[in-house]
Structures are given as C-alpha cells and as structure tokens.
Amino acid sequence: MTTRNGNGAAKAPAKSDVDVDVVVVGAGFAGLYMLHRLRGLGLTATVLESADDVGGTWYWNRYPGARCDIATVDYTYSFDPELEEAWTWSEKYATQPEILRYLQFVAERYDLRRDIRLSTRVTAAAWDDVAGQWAITTDAGDTIIARYYVMATGCLSMPKTPDIAGTERFQGDVYFTSNWPHEGVDFSGRRVAVIGTGSSGIQSIPEIAKQAAHLTVFQRTPNFSVPAQNGAVVSERRAPLDADRAGYREAAKWSRGGVPKDPPAEMSWQLSAEERRARFDRAIEEGELFSILGLWADQGTNKAANDLVADMIRERIRDIVDDPATAELLCPTDHAFGTKRPCLDTDYYATYNLPHVRLVDLRATPIGTITETGIETGAETFEFDAIVYATGFDAMTGAIVAVNITGRDGITLQDKWEHGPLTYLGLMTVGFPNLFLITGPGSPSVLSNMAVSIEQHVDWIADCLDEMATRGFTRLEPTATAEAGWVRHVNDCADITLHPTANSWYIGANVPGKPRVFLPYIGGVDAYREICDDAVARDMLGFELSGPAGTQRNDGVVVRLQPDVRLVLKMMEDMGLPTIDSMSAEDARGFIEQLNAARPPGPDVTDVVDGTLPGADGDDLEYRLYRPEGDGPHPIVVYFHGGGWVLGTRESDDPFCRDLCVRSGAVIVSVNYRHAPEARFPAAADDGFAAVQWVADHAVELGGIPGQLAVAGWSAGGNVAAVACQLARDAGGPDISGQLLLTPVTDSNFDTASYTENAEGFVLTKPLMEWFWDHYADPADRAHPKASPLRAESLADLPPAFVVTCEFDPLRDEGRAYAAALQEAGVPVEELRARGHTHTSLTMVDVVLSGADLRQRMADALRGFFTARVPA
Ligand SMILES: Cc1cc2nc3c(=O)[nH]c(=O)nc-3n(C[C@H](O)[C@H](O)[C@H](O)COP(=O)(O)OP(=O)(O)OC[C@H]3O[C@@H](n4cnc5c(N)ncnc54)[C@H](O)[C@@H]3O)c2cc1C
C-alpha cells in the first residue's frame, strides 16, 4: 500500500501491519466525505456504521415533518461543483427522505459503499503505543487494526433515554423520533401523546395532529420557534449561488455560522423601535435561523437586547394561539432567545387551535408515571393508543463516549472526560494519538451549518494526514498546554454570551448527571477556521508529531487573546487605520475624537456635571463629574484619563468613568490635566496633584464624603494618579484612601520583556509609546519620579493600591514592577493580571464584554479603599 500526496505522487509506503490506514466510524455527512477524501489521498479506509444504510441523522430521524432547518442550498456538500450540478433540491428546507436520497446518491456517485460496513457497531477502540496503531472492535466481535481512527459519529446521534418512570409498562405503540419505523406510522383515528417540544417535537406535532383523533402534547420547557416559510426554493435566494457558486461557498466558509450572511453591525440601542420591528418582520418573512438570530449585534450577549427579540416572538405566539392560557404556556420565559436551539416550524402554534389538540404543562403537573394504558400526571390520568418520545439527544459527547476508547497509558476517554470534554480545536484530545473527532466538542458544530463545519474538519484531517505522510510522520497528538489553552478559549467565548445562563443541551443540562460544560465553540465558523489554519501555518502549533522523520513538538496555545479582544483587533486591522505615531498631536486628537464618537455610551449615571478647577499654574482645568445612584454623599474618585499625556479630555474615557461610577457607587471626577507637547513634563503631574488637592478641599460641595478620596487612572492617567499619591505623601496631604492604577506608565524604560513581546499588534505599540514620551518629557527628565514613579527613592507610606496589568500590553511589566515595589515597601497592594487583554481593551465598555468582571473587580477595589460603608 502506498500513500499519495495531492499531486498523485507516491510516497513512502505505510507499515503493512495495519488492516487499513484509517477506520472511520459513521456513514453520515461526515463519514461519507471523509472516506472520499481518504481515497483521494490513496489511503485505505473502512467505514463502520451501525445502521443498515448510509445517511446518519437522515437515516434515523424519519418522523413526520422531519426536515433540515438550514436552507438546503446551504446545507449541502460543496466540495465538488459537479455534484452540485447533478443535484437540485426541491424545497427551501428539504424533507428527511430527500436528504437521505441525496446522501445515498453521494455514496453511489463516489462509489463509497464498497468500503462501508453497515450494521456494524463499534464497541471499543484501544491505542497500542508501541505499534502506533488503533485496534477497533465491533459488535460482530472482530477487530480492525488501523493507524488512524476517525469518529464521524455525529453530534445528535445518541438518543437520550427518557427519564420518566414506567416507560416499559405502556402496552400501546411507542415511537422515538430519533429511530422512526421505516415503513412510517398511520395515526388515523388514534389517541396520541407526544412528549417533548424540542426541534423534533415541534416539527412532528403539526403532522401528527393532521392524522390523530386526539393529540396531547406534554411540554416541560417551551421553545422559541419561528415559521420556516418553507416552499420551493425562491429564485432570489438561489441567485447569488447561481451567479457565483465558488464565491458563495467561499463566503459560507468564512461566515459566522456557515451561511453567507454578514453579522449585524448595529447594536440594539442604535436602532429605533421601528427599525427593530422592521428587522424582526423581515426575518420572520425570510424564515431562516441566522436571520432571526442576528437582528442586532448584542442580541446574544446582552439580556436587554435579547428581550427585545424574545418579546416580539412571544407577541406572535399570543397572536396565533386562540386560548390565552395555552398561549402563555407556549411562551418561553426561562431562557434567552437563542440560548437553546430555536426551531423553525410549519403551523406549530396554530396546531394548538385545533379542537383535538391539547397542551399539558409538565412544570405544573409533572408526569408521575407511564402506565399500561397511558400517562398519569399528578392531576390527571390520560389514555393513549400511542406515545411518541421526542426527548432529544445526549448531544456532542454521547456517541463518542459510548465507545470504550482506551488511549495511551490505559486511560479511557470516559474517565478523561468525566468532568466535561477536553479537546484541542474540537479535533483531537491528549492521550489519544491519531484519534480525530469530526465536529467534536470545542468546535462550531451544532451552532453552525454542519455541512460546512463537517467539510472543514474533514479537509483539515485529510490535509493533515497528507502533510504528515509527506514529512515522514505517522503519529499526531496535541500537547497538554495546547488543549488546556483551547478549553479555556472555548469557555472564554461562551462566557461573554448569554448561553451559560440556559439549561440547554448545548451545556449538557438535558442529561441527568452530565457535566455542565458549554460543548460547542461559539466564536464563529470564520474565526474557528482561521484558528485551525493558523495552528497548521505555525508549524502544527500545539501538536507533537513523530514517525520515521523523528519527533517534532511545537508546544503552545493557539489563541491567547480574549475572543472579543481578538475580534476588535481584527476589525481595526481590517479598517486599515493609520498609526497615531505617524500623525501630529493635533491630528491624533481629532482622530481619537472621531473613533470615540462611534463607541457605545456606557451605562446611565444619575447625574453628569461639567465644571472647572484650578490647575497647578492657576489656569482652569476642565472636569466632568459622574454621580451614582442615591442621595449621597458618596466617596470620591479623582480620575485621570489615558492618552500618553498628549491625547484625551475630561470626557474621553466617558464610558469607563460611567461604568466605574455605577459599579463602585462613588462620584467620579474626571480631570482634564494639561497635555504635551503644549505643556510638557511636569505639567500633567503637577496638575494631577493640584486636582486632588482641590477635590479634597471641595469634597462636600461635590457631594463627596470628606476623607473618602481615592485616585484612579488609566495608562498615562495611571502615571498621573501614582505620582499624585507620591506628591500627596511628600506634602503631608491630602489623605488618599487608595489608588487604582489601570495599565499605568510607571517607568521610562523600554527594555522590559513586555515591550519586546508586545511591541506591535496590540494597539498601544512601542513606537507609539516612544512618540508619547518624546512629546511629554526630555530624556533628562524621564527618570524623575514625577515621570517614572517606579524610580522614587521610597514607595513606603503610599495609599493602598490596586494595579491592573494586561497580558498583551507593552506596559505590562512596568505595572507589575510597580505593584511588586509597592509591596516591597510595605504598601497593601493587589495586582490583577488581565489574561488575554490589551492596554486598551478593559476600558471598552459594552464592546469588550470579557472585561466586565475585571471592571467589577476594579470597582470593588475602590469600594474596599473606603473605610466607611458607601451609602446606598
Ligand atoms: C432532526 C435533525 C435535523 C437536523 N437538521 C440540521 C440542519 O438543518 N442543519 C444542520 O446543520 N444540522 C442539522 N442537524 C444536525 C445533523 O446531525 C448534522 O447536520 C449532520 O447530519 C451530522 O452528520 P454526521 O455525519 O456528523 O453525523 P450523523 O449524521 O449523526 O451520523 C453519525 C453516524 O454514526 C453512526 N454511529 C454512531 N456511533 C456509532 C458506533 N459506535 N458504531 C457505528 N456507527 C456509529 C450513527 O449510526 C450515524 O449513522 C440535524 C439533526 C437532527 C437530528
């Protein structure tokens, strides 16, 4: 047997002690395409499938009304233009039989069946670390030896056993939507129960109601559903595909969800009520999941923005359903829209207007038991001829851990994943070399058009095997660092959304005892593809490869930035913004003002007052005061904005000041100290101190509590705040309760590791910092403690400090050094190291949501500075 590269050239033969190069489990969308790609590489492969035909999902789920919910022009293979020519979908959302016919057609067209063993369930797989092989055991009792093992077992292929007492007692007919009789079911004249109102329930209920004499639907949790608006494929929908097939497919690959559609740019608050209604109505007309899921940009992350959509959907339900009590039961109120998979339906809600259809609320009256003749709830006894279970799946991990997989050193995957799945890129897992998971946990999978995600994974795996063969490697395994980093990133992505707030199957909440871990990757198909490609381009970052060519271990974490910070940086890169250090100070100020005008405003505060106070040279300095809720008086924080002593105004950090004010319950006085180059060192430092003195003296009239005064500052403002504390100490007052220093400039030293590591690419660059220093201070002055507070003779007796440093900030190390030096000098200090953040990301209120918890910790630190209780 030989392996071939993409050009068809023969490569070194693989060892012949394997039965096949690759075993693939599953013959659905994923397994079929995987086999086709492997054949193309000249590899031998066997596909093992427990069903007696190909098709996967579309083989098993034959219930009435079963359809895809991604439009079929998108939910289709795209790897072969000729295949696309050869097959035309009849409907916008094809039915199960049509999709199954399509997959059978694909199997025939590429002559795949000869390598597929049907009616064969894989029960176990064991890795032999010495031979570098997998032994895959089937329920037929045989074992196949393969070098590579691909689990194409599907995300929604392991039906969940209903956790209801007495299921075995029922003497009538029992059906599972996930394993429907091939010959179909005639419900005419029969009394039918459907348990479950997820996607399968919502699709099947209207169809079953058309036949049944009585239909009773048992609902635990209502789901959001919008009309599919199914029908023939409309020509406008097909037009972009027909005009440029390749371009269309490429756009799908680089889209957020695997369907070519730009994500909304506008936040909910940027749209009027009429505009929002118009977007909603248009999405309802379109009848596509990604339309209704993407009405405005903050829909998935902000509860208030989400409520706007959810309210409109609930309003529709109440409009459609005649009986107000039934309508109320059908309105989901326990989860944000989109945090459970929303459904597309045909006449679902209207079905409840039919006289023979009834809804039973299991929240109010749970099922006590299934009986021989029907169902007993606490309140009622029901008799049925048939019960249909539409109770869903043990999603994403169920089919994988159902196989007893033993990896290196005898560890089993079940044990390794006991507390939740751990993968690198959702593709591989440490301890299980040469095992690949298609659409595994930690990949976009069920949050995306899976046809696109499956093709991406299959292509990644195939290309990887090809490259390994070329380079003389036969063994691949991720590193522990890479896996831990990926799991962290997957969680970081989920944590900035509303998803973790819902008891969904995305989080394993539908299966008793399943660990609560957000399973798919929510960062987007586009970002994910880029990351997977990036790992390869960076010489298989996060993987160890070995084989005849030796061993290559490229340890590391592929994404270290917080996901929203990464997105912001990417957007800025795409915008091609000019660098500030290429501008004059004047132009830079105009430029920043323009950028600031487009940002979210931050939270409402009770009052905003503009005023002036005397600066160090007697001239007025402008300030803006933010007052929190409550009558006051409140503690006061004198705040100094960022901007490298050159840029910024009293309102340039407006959203951050508002946020700090609301979260800390303190009055924030943001002071516009003098700027360079007009007023060079030590103007800013002296103004800062003058401002603190003036605010301390005028605390009462500003609504403050005398004696409860802290200082805070960001970047150069952190420098001004730190210096003000030193000057106040040296002058014997005023008394400062604490200093909050966010990514402060503390030293004029460019030789730190963070200046090297983060010199470029994270907004504040080394050249920009040099530009700032050049504008602010002569080299001879830079070592002065008023410019470099780290260099003060003593840091003893300074106010307690809370120092925030960011991982991707040139100033990171000087912030850390200042915190360490304060501690050394006996000052109470807490340092917050913001993982994955940049110099500018934490102040991006309502943009960088991953900063919200950290902003809260800053506010808590301010509260902690003030000894007296902050008045409510
Ligand atoms: C009703 C329904 C509708 C859906 N609609 C959409 C949609 O519109 N858009 C979308 O993107 N996704 C949809 N999905 C998700 C769907 O699962 C995927 O789109 C896709 O079909 C998955 O393909 P797959 O090959 O990865 O897995 P599957 O199609 O699930 O195939 C996996 C196969 O592996 C086999 N298998 C599992 N374990 C073993 C074992 N141990 N031994 C042997 N064989 C095994 C199973 O029998 C199965 O045939 C839907 C899912 C369901 C249930």
- What is the distance in A from the centroid of ligand 1 to the CA of 130? 34
Integer Cα distance of 684 and 171 in angstroms: 85
Q: From ligand 1's centre to the CA of 56, what distance in Å?
A: 5
Model pLDDT, residue 6: 33
Place of tokens 């798919």: 520
Q: Which atom in ligand 1 lies closest to the alpha carbon of residue 449?
A: 11
Comparing CA positions, the residue from 821, 831, 647, 637 lying closest to residue 747 is: 821
Residue whose CA lies nearest to ligand 1 atom number 7: 68
**Which residue has the least CA distance to atom 21 on ligand 1?**
57
Residue 27 alpha carbon to ligand 1 centre in Å: 9
Atom of ligand 1 nearest to the CA of 258: 11
Atom of ligand 1 nearest to the CA of 157: 30
Please tell me the distance from the alpha carbon of residue 580 to that of residue 236, in angstroms, as a whole number: 45
For the stretch 246-255, pLDDT in tens is 999 999 999 9
List all residues whose CB is within 6 A of at least one atom of ligand 1: 25-31, 48-51, 56-57, 59, 61, 66, 68-70, 75, 121-122, 152-157, 200, 399, 402-403, 438-439, 449-450, 454
Neighbours of 419 (CB within 10 A): 9
* CA of 393, closest atom in ligand 1: 53
Q: If pLDDT is split at 50, 70 and 90, which confidence band does 234 have?
A: confident
Q: Which residue has the tokens 């700032």?
A: 772
Contact at 8 Å (CB) between 775 and 821? no
Q: Which atom of ligand 1 is nearest to the CA of 63?
A: 1
Q: Which of 447, 6, 81, 37 is nearest to 247 (CA)?
A: 81
pLDDT of 236 reads: 87
Task: Report how many helices (DSSP H) and strands (DSSP E) the chain contains, helices first.
Answer: 26, 29
Angstrom distance (rounded) from CA 62 to CA 52 = 14
What does the block give as tokens for 555?
């340890």
Residue 870's pLDDT is 44
Indicate which atom in ligand 1 lies nearest the CA of residue 48. 43
Provide the angle, in degrees to the nearest 10, between the axes of the packed helices 450-471 and 245-253.
80
In angstroms and rounded to an integer, the radius of gyration of the C-alpha atoms of the chain is 31
Cα–chain center distance at 449: 16
Q: How far is the CA of 748 from the centre of ligand 1 (A)?
A: 59
261 C-alpha to ligand 1 centroid (Å):
24
- Range 479-505 average pLDDT: 96
Strand ranges in 653-702 using DSSP code E only, listed in sequence order? 667-671
Tens of pLDDT, residues 389-413: 999 999 999 999 999 999 999 999 9
Question: Which residue CA neighbors atom 5 of ligand 1 most closely?
Answer: 68
DSSP line for 619-638: SEEEEEEEE-SSS--EEEEE
How many angstroms is it from 29 CA to the middle of ligand 1? 7
Instruction: Over range 61-87, report the average pLDDT.
Output: 97
- Mean pLDDT score, 597-619: 95
Q: Which residue has the higher pLDDT, 802 or 872?
A: 802
Q: Say what the pTM is.
A: 0.94
CA 585 to chain centre: 38
Helix spans in 521-584 (H): 525-537, 563-575
> Closest Cα partner for 47 from 438, 415, 316?
438
CB 435 within 8 A of CB 151: yes
Query: How far, in Å, from the CA of 440 to the mean position of ligand 1?
Result: 12
Distances (CA, A) of 470 to 207, 348, 378: 54, 54, 66
pLDDT for 211-228, tens place per residue? 999 999 999 999 999 999
State the chain's mean pLDDT as an integer.
95
Higher-confidence residue of 871 and 479: namely 479
Question: What is the predicted pLDDT for the residue at 16?
Answer: 54
8 A C-beta contact, residue 232 and residue 321: no
Percent of the chain with pLDDT over 90: 95
- Label residue 540 by pLDDT band (50, 70, 90): very high
836 in the Ramachandran plot: left (φ > 0), alpha (ψ -120 to 50) or beta? Answer: left
13, pLDDT greater than 90: no
- Kindly tell me if the per-residue pLDDT of 675 is higher than 80: yes
C-alpha 58/C-alpha 35 separation (Å) is 18
Q: Of 768, 743, 717, which is closest to residue 838 (Cα–Cα)?
A: 743
pLDDT at 174: 98
Using the mean position of ligand 1's atoms as its centre, give its distance from the Cα of residue 398 in Å.
12
pLDDT in tens, 30-52: 999 999 999 999 999 999 999 99
pLDDT in tens, 325-363: 999 999 999 999 999 999 999 999 999 999 999 999 999
One-letter amino acid of 274: E
Taking the centre of ligand 1 as the mean of its atom positions, its distance from the CA of residue 156, in whole angstroms, is 5
Mutate to test the pocket of ligand 1, among 120, 157, 225 (most ligand atoms within 8 A of CB): 157
Could you please report the per-residue DSSP string of 458-474?
HHHHHHHHHHHHHHT--
pLDDT, mean of residues 792-799 = 98
Phi, psi of 661 (to 5 degrees): -65, -50
What is the whole-number distance in angstroms between the Cα of residue 100 and the centre of ligand 1? Answer: 11
**What CA–CA distances, in Å, run from 384 to 172, 176, 181, 211, 375?**
7, 16, 19, 14, 8
Give me the phi and psi of 710, to 5 degrees please: -120, 165
Q: Is the pLDDT of residue 1 over 80?
A: no
pLDDT band at 11 (very low <50, low <70, confident <90, very high): very low
pLDDT in tens, 710-745: 999 999 999 999 999 999 999 999 999 999 999 999
Which atom of ligand 1 lies nearest, measured to the CA of 66? 1
CA of 96 to the centre of ligand 1 (A): 12
| pLDDT mean over 846-859 | 96
Distance of CA 832 to the CA centre of its chain: 24
Alpha helix (H) residue ranges in 576-677: 585-597, 654-664
Protein residue with least CA distance to atom 3, ligand 1: 68
Question: Burial level of 575, CB count in 10 A (0-12/13-18/19+)?
Answer: exposed
Regarding predicted confidence, which is higher, 869 or 177? 177
Give 144's pLDDT tier (boundaries 50, 70, 90).
very high
**What is the pLDDT averaged over residues 505-512?**
92
What element of type H or E holds 369? strand 367-370
Q: Which atom of ligand 1 is nearest to the CA of 156?
A: 17
Confidence of residue 14 (pLDDT cuts 50, 70, 90): very low
Q: Which ligand 1 atom sits nearest the alpha carbon of residue 200? A: 1
Pocket test for ligand 1, best of 33, 117, 119, 153 (most atoms within 8 A of CB): 153
| Average pLDDT estimate for 79-102 | 97
Q: What is the pLDDT of residue 8?
A: 35
Question: Can you state the angle between helices 563-575 and 525-537, rounded to 10 degrees?
Answer: 90
Q: What pLDDT is attached to residue 482?
A: 98
Atom of ligand 1 nearest to the CA of 453: 11
Mean pLDDT of 588-612: 95
pLDDT at position 598 is 85
Query: Atom 26 in ligand 1: which residue has the minimum CA distance?
Result: 154
Does position 12 have pLDDT exceeding 80, yes or no? Answer: no
Q: What is the average per-residue pLDDT within 851-857? A: 97
- Tokens 């409907």 correspond to 91
